[in-house]
Structure 1
Amino acid sequence: MTIYTPNTKDRTGPKYKIIADAITDDIHDGHLAAGVKLPTHRDLAYRLGVTVGTVTRAYAELHRRRVADARVGSGTYVLDIARQAQVFSPVSNITSHEPLHRSDNRPTLEQPRDGNIDLSMNRPPPGPETEALAGTLRQLSGRNDLSILTQYNPAPGMLHHRKAMARLLNTIGLECEGDDIILTSGAQHAMAACALALLNAGDVLLTENLTYPGMTSLASHLGVRMRPVMMDEYGMRPDDLEAAVRETGARVVYIIPIMQNPTTATMNQERLQAIAAIAKRHNLIIMEDDVYGFQPKNRNPPLAQLIPDNTIYTNGFAKSIAPGLRVGCMKVPKTLFSAVTQAVQITGWMIPPLMGEIASQWIDSGLAQHIIDWHQDECIARNALAAEIFKGFSFQSQPECLHMWLDLPDGHHADDTLRNLRDQGVILAGPESFITAQADVPRSLRLCLGSTPTRERLKVGLDRIHKVLTEQPVTGFARMENMVI
């Protein structure tokens, strides 16, 4: 057994940062493997000749960098940085597989052929959108007015495309017209434009204490500090939001009110009204991420319907229609419309007109609603399958949701469980991917139910997860010949 001590020689700067840098380098160089337990604060302080407080601050810095994390009552452990890098990196996920498989002369995206089942990416399964796209492209090829689709167009998008999107948003309870809408290259583009228009480096962004990794990554790149707001079964808690506003003076809040990622929490009407009241009282701007908003068969109107002057509403085709089209949208208050439009220009100028034309044709023909209905029914079936397999387990889900939030049984820790699942050929995102600034990593896993092309393949993956979670936990230490502490 080797007793680990980081090499802090020839380093300059604050002592806590020297220690954190040395440990981080050892993790990246492979000298410290995922799952390794770091020395206790007191032991490392003694060996390095520093105070316990210095080590505590160094370990907090490791947590901030997401290379190590503390388990209450157990210690501080090295995280799997390679797996974390894949959580918000769809390109790496795809290129590591064989993404294109020709069948009937038509390319399709498949799961990897090495036997692994990847349930880490929250995407819808393939449905009728493939045939819809083929038909639309055939129809477009016969038109003689396509030149406008090859030219620059206004940054918010072509007006008839924006009017079509407004009509689709009307179906989920959001009153708007084409002039209210800005089209984007997906909802992620919309979020980036919002953040650029609203936030500066050093500002505080309030968000749920567990949230979408894309927003965490975006905030980090912009130098924006995230302040977590506690949640319950209905999402962001009004009392903690009120406290966070008073504590930080923040003026921007990021919320996923429908099928929250990763917890699936959904705001009821009472909660929506409570959040709306706080936003109006403190003159907050809400970034409402409603990317799952087309999924429920029955839902409450968006926050943007309750407080239109305080809300930038974002949605898109990614989760319910066709992620590859990269069609997103925003409903923006008139006072912010110019600033957000400029941010869209900076980050992409405009949605590709061809994508806007396909989207508007699908909406006007009823194809978009048909595809949404298909995905709703498919998600209901997949959630029923998961609920049957995990009967007796604790989990959170919604009938039409693309993911579920599964609590780990006693004795199972996330890092060890994820390694064991990889050995069984199942890939999941780690729960640390969803934390903002809090210290504790949740003992839960997000299972993306739409990631497999078929329900049969999903069942194989879920059965493997069930098997690992019903067996005696196997820790990373039990499999390491030379444990480092």
Structure 2
Amino acid sequence: MLTVSEIKFKQIARTIESRIRDGVYPPNTKLPPHRVLAEELQTTPVTVAKAYKLLSEQNQVESFVGRGTFVCGESQLSSVIQTSDDEDDYNFSILQPCLSHNVPELQSAIRSSASKITSHLTGYAENSGHERHRQTGIRWASQYGLEPGTVQNTLLTSGTQNALAVLVESLTKPGDTIAVETLTYPGILAIASLRRRHVVGVQMDENGMIPEHLQQTIEQHHPKLVIVVPSHQNPTGITMPAERRESIARVVRQHNIWFIEDDIYSFLNEDPMPAICNWLPERGFHVTSLSKAICPALRCGFIKAPSSQVATISAHIRTDIWLASPLNFIIAEELINSGQAFELAERQRLLAGERQKIARKYLPHSTIPRQGYHLWIPLPSHWQQERFAMEAQNHRILVSSGSYFDTQQSCNHIRLSLTAINSEQKFKQGMEKLNKLLHSDPATVFSYQTNPF
């Protein structure tokens, strides 16, 4: 027979379940502290703790020491990265190349690649893909600061997101902690959430992740893995100087933990920057792809892995996808070996610089870098980030709320992509509308308005 106490905490658990289903407690949100919910439901904090524990055992919530209890997550990438086929939308949400500038070269590369398709290249392959395609990955990454790998320790994936997911799955287990920048790429947070890994944010300054805070985080939280975006960091736009990169590597090496360098934006640096993994040959995994420089649809990603981990990572790639499509890598091979890939990447870098100049005219009081695909914009005090993103969408302006990037829920920003809009004229129109909305009074902006400007 159940005791009164057991009946009580199970009733509370059912109440919380109902609130989760009804959207009162959405996925990834923090539940009230034990004391607060106990006062609301006229019970004790101990009883609430038992209800949370029951829900945790049912994989409906997760508890983190020092952070609280959260509704089990779902990927929020669809909210951060808003694709739109409506030509009337101003899409400042998705980070991608200005695709209209690359289409002719892609068409040419596809035509040239057709004659290279053979039965050998369309069948299954050993390891993570064909040796010739791994060689093109070596050439691509070494152009932008990575000490060249070998065909043995270079692995092929279906883009960077696939690479990150495979590495998190390979190097950690459910319940492990991953250290990331306090503000970080939501794709990393989505992977961690869906795979039941805990995330802890490491403080940043104008040069990126702070080595001393990484040291403290490792000593306090004992993460199994550190993930860093060193160039044109998403969302802040910060690029780590070489000295900071070496310092981060030193801390990782001292504690002998795994390290992932998401180096997808390195092509945007005016001059090559040394990869952090250059100092971590036995602990570092370097990840990059062609998605941001050439075309997201190619899905060509590359991992340079420590030799000791190649077999393990290869096994995970094979289990997940068997191998990344060789047909895509045939096109990538044509682009890289002909030199067109580097020309297209440089074209996008210069275009991003021009878009940055335009943005400074419309947002003169914001801190705007000179290069990069995106801006990290602090909002005026009269706007809150979620409300602004919602109102912007009602005005056909798609932006990303800073909440999706924030491990500590302490910012009030939006992230703006500068290159997803193909037309210069439309980009300027969108910036003008965005500027007007930023300076408007939320009390006078109504969601049902369709053409306030």
Per the normalisation by structure 1, the TM-score is 0.79
1:213 deviation in Å? 1.1
Structure 1 pair 40/133, CA: closer, same or farther in 2 (3 Å)? closer
Per the alignment, residue 121 of structure 1 pairs with 94
CA pair 297-127 structure 1, distance change in 2 beyond 3 A: farther
Answer yes or no: is 1:391 the counterpart of 2:364: yes
Counterpart of 2:123 (choices 151, 154, 158) is: 151
Q: Secondary structure at the match of 2:214?
A: helix
Q: What is the SS of the residue equivalent to 1:139?
A: helix
Matched residues in 1 for 2:36 and 2:199: separation?
32
Residues 120 and 55 (structure 1), Cα distance of their counterparts in 2 relative to 1, 3 Å cut: farther
AA aligned opposite 2:158: S
Between Structure 1 and Structure 2, how many residues are aligned? 424
Trace 1:27-426 onto structure 2 (pairs within 5 A).
27=23, 48-50=41-43, 84=76, 86-87=78-79, 93-94=82-83, 97-98=84-85, 112-113=86-87, 115-143=88-116, 146-176=118-148, 177-393=150-366, 395=367, 397-426=368-397
Deviations 1:137-188 (A, max 9, x none): 3223345x62222111123221111112212222112122333311111111
Quote the RMSD (CA, aligned, Å): 3.4
3-state SS of 1:254 partner:
strand
The equivalent residue for 2:427 is: 458
The answer on whether the counterparts of 1:119 and 1:426 sit within 8 Å (CA) in structure 2 is yes
| Structure 1: segments with no counterpart, 5+ residues | 1-10, 67-80, 99-111, 481-485
Partners of 2:340 and 2:447 lie apart in 1 by 52
1:108 is aligned to: none
How far apart, CA to CA, are the structure 2 residues paired with 1:12 and 1:22?
15
1:48 Cα offset (Å): 3.0
Alignment correspondent of 1:474: 443
Q: Contact 2:75–2:193 at 8 Å: present in 1 too?
A: no
SS in 2 for 1:178: coil
Query: 1:426-485 CA distances to partner (integer Å, 9 max, x unpaired)?
Result: 12122221123x2x3410110011121122222222212211111223389x879xxxxx
Change (3 A) 1:219 1:184: same
Structure 1 residues 214 and 475 mapped into 2: Cα distance closer, same or farther (>3 Å)?
farther
Name the stretch that deviates more: 122-131 or 15-24: 15-24
Secondary structure at the counterpart of residue 443 of structure 2: coil
In 1, Cα distance between equivalents of 2:105 and 2:231 = 27
Contact 2:76 2:190 in 1 (8 A): no
Q: Is the 8 A contact 1:252 1:286 kept in 2?
A: yes
Structure 2 Cα separation of the partners of residues 403 and 189 of structure 1: 22
Give CA-to-partner distance per residue, 1:26-77, whole Å, 9 cap, x none: 337xxx99xxxx9999997655324689999999x9xxx99xxxxxxxxxxx
Contact 2:374-2:415 at 8 Å conserved across structures: yes
1:406 aligned partner, one-letter code: I
Q: Does structure 2 conserve the Cα–Cα contact (< 8 Å) formed by 1:12 and 1:18?
A: no
CA–CA distance in 2 between the matches of 1:162 and 1:183? 7
- Structure 1, residues 218-272: CA drift from partner, whole Å, max 9, x if none? 1112111111111111111111111111112223101111111111121112211
C-alpha deviation, 1:299, in angstroms:
3.8
CA–CA distance in structure 1, aligned partners of residues 411 and 47 of structure 2: 26
Check whether the contact 1:87–1:121 (CA below 8 A) recurs between aligned residues.
no
Q: TM-score, normalised by structure 2?
A: 0.84
Stretch deviating more after TM superposition (377-386 or 134-143) = 134-143
Relative to 1, partners in 2 of residues 1:156 and 1:46: Cα closer, same or farther, differing over 3 Å?
A: closer
TM superposition shift of 1:23: 3.5
In structure 2, C-alpha distance between the alignment counterparts of 1:180 and 1:358, rounded to whole Å: 22
Q: Write the distance in 1 (CA, Å) between the matches of 2:353 and 2:163.
A: 28
Q: Distance in 1 between matches of 2:442 and 2:74?
A: 22
Residue of 7, 16, 21 corresponding to 2:17: 21
Query: In structure 1, what is the Cα distance between the partners aligned to 2:75 and 2:198?
Result: 24
1:449 maps to which of 398, 415, 418:
418
- 1-structure distance, mates of 2:397, 2:184: 23
The amino acid that maps onto 1:166 is: I
Identify unmatched segments of 5+ residues in structure 2.
1-6, 62-72, 449-453
* Alignment match, 2:67: none
Counterpart residue type for residue 435 of structure 1: D
**Distance in 2 of aligned mates of 1:232 and 1:128:** 34
Check 1:445–1:475 CA distance in 2 against 1; reply closer, same or farther (3 A cut).
farther
Equivalent position of 2:66 in the other structure: none
Distance 1:16 1:375 in 2: 55
Q: Distance between the aligned counterparts of 2:227 and 2:162, measured in 1?
A: 15
Describe the shift of the 1:54–1:129 C-alpha distance in structure 2 as closer, same or farther (beyond 3 A): farther
Q: Give the 3-state SS of the residue equivalent to 2:377 in structure 1.
A: strand
Give the % identical residues.
26
Q: Distance in 2 between matches of 1:269 and 1:141?
A: 41
CA contact (8 A) 1:117 1:426 kept: yes
Letter in 2 for 1:290: D
Q: Which amino acid aligns with 1:474?
A: A
Change in 2 beyond 3 A, CA 1:375/1:207: same
Give the partner amino acid of 2:415: R
Distance 1:56 1:85 in 2: 31
**CA separation of 1:12 and 1:426: change in aligned 2, threshold 3 A:** farther
Alpha-carbon contact 2:211-2:247 (below 8 Å) kept: yes
Tell me, yes or no, if the aligned pair for 1:127 and 1:374 is still in contact at 8 Å.
no
Contact 1:413 1:443 (8 Å CA) reproduced = yes
Distance 1:14 1:363 in 2: 60
